[in-house]
Amino acid sequence: MEYTTLPGTDMRVSRIALGTWAIGGWMWGGTDEKTSVQTIHAALEEGINLIDTAPVYGFGRSEEIVGKALHEYNNRRNIFISTKACLAWDDRGVFRDATRGRIKKDLEDSLRRLQTDYIDIYFVHWPDPRVPAEETAEAMKELFYEGKIRAVGVSNYSSDQMAEFEKFSPLHLSQLPYNLFERGIEAAETAYCRDRNIALMAYGVLCRGLLSGVMRSDRAFAGDDLRNHDPKFQGDRFRQYLAAAEKLAELARDRYNRGLLPMAVRWVLDQGAEIAVWGARRPEQITPVRDAVGWVIGDYGRRQIRKILNQTITDPVGPEFMAPAVREA
């Protein structure tokens, strides 16, 4: 495993984090607690020491499972937890709420579910345009100086939004969507993080499974699976992305003797992300992690990747469909 020390902290975390959105079940067709706990333990055994979760992942279920798994593993001091605040939900759906009160409530609920008395990395999950940046940032700063959280992060923030947040609070990490198929943050956000010494934590590195190496055109998505609403998985676009994945898999095999999945993760790390979030919910999905570390893609590989993407994807689309609603007045 590769490790990095987070800017402004003494935390040395794995450059691959375990993502637990799918473990929560919501928008992923359900969950199995026993298998999920085994998955978390398998990740820890591979050297992953950073677990990423959020209250909205299964409406508390993911955090509960993470808490149970870490309690059973009994090594909290050497394991780092990142979770999030500022998404609320009711019978109308999920919406943004970055008020001071919501942040404090979310923290206490997360501490209880995770069976811990501090959070290592705490993110504002989504910016809330109805709440002044000062209110949100000041609330996060207070938690940081109180010692309830060890690092402050924002998620899904533009470079301008990060700059405004930094007027009122330290900022250690930025979590953003980034993968071979979704590269919108390269326009401004990656440069901002680099220039301000903010650790970039990339999520969605496998693009909801499109870069897993096992996605097929006849794949059906059950129940509330978010891929039923993802434009990448619809019609001609789906065929384009599958064609790109096939060509990328050939490059990974012929050039690096590896699968598409580890090459996709390696690409994100080589592009400047300090941390790549690897989503899994079965122990066997952890095994390829060892093929993603200890090597680099190199200039030739990056040129070939760009060529493949330019030739195969003529109608690209980003991850904007995942943005939650802004709450009503």
At residue 177 the predicted structure's pLDDT band, cuts being 50, 70 and 90, is very high
The answer to whether the pTM exceeds 0.85 is yes
Put residue 276 in one of left, alpha, beta given phi > 0 → left and psi -120 to 50 → alpha: beta
Query: Angle 133-146/100-114 helices, nearest 10 degrees?
Result: 40
Phi–psi pair at 84, nearest 5 degrees: -140, 165
Q: Please give the Cα distance from 130 to 90 (Å, whole number).
A: 18
**Rounded mean pLDDT of 76-90?**
92
Catalytic residue among 57, 122, 157, 178: 57
Percent of the chain with pLDDT over 70: 97
Could you identify the residue written with the tokens 């097929």?
216
Number of domains in the chain: 1
DSSP 224: T
**Rounded mean pLDDT of 60-83?**
92
Q: Higher-confidence residue: 179 or 324? A: 179
Report the CATH number that the domain containing residue 154 is assigned in CATH: 3.20.20.100
| Predicted local confidence at residue 28, as pLDDT | 52
Strand partners, 50: 80
| Order of strands across the sheet that contains 93-96 | 87-90, 93-96, 325-326
**Which residue range forms the structural domain that includes residue 11?**
3-326
The predicted-structure confidence for 298-316, as pLDDT tens digits, reads as follows 999 999 999 999 999 998 9
Q: Are 293 and 15 in contact (CB under 8 A)?
A: yes
Task: Please check the confidence at residue 27 and state whether its pLDDT lies above 70.
Answer: no
**Rounded mean pLDDT of 87-93?**
84
The predicted-structure confidence for 131-147, as pLDDT tens digits, reads as follows 999 999 999 999 999 99
In 125-238, DSSP assigns E strands to: 152-155, 173-177, 199-203
Q: Please give the Cα distance from 191 to 197 (Å, whole number).
A: 10
Mean pLDDT of the chain: 92
The question of whether 203 is a catalytic residue gets the answer: no
**Rounded mean pLDDT of 15-21?**
93
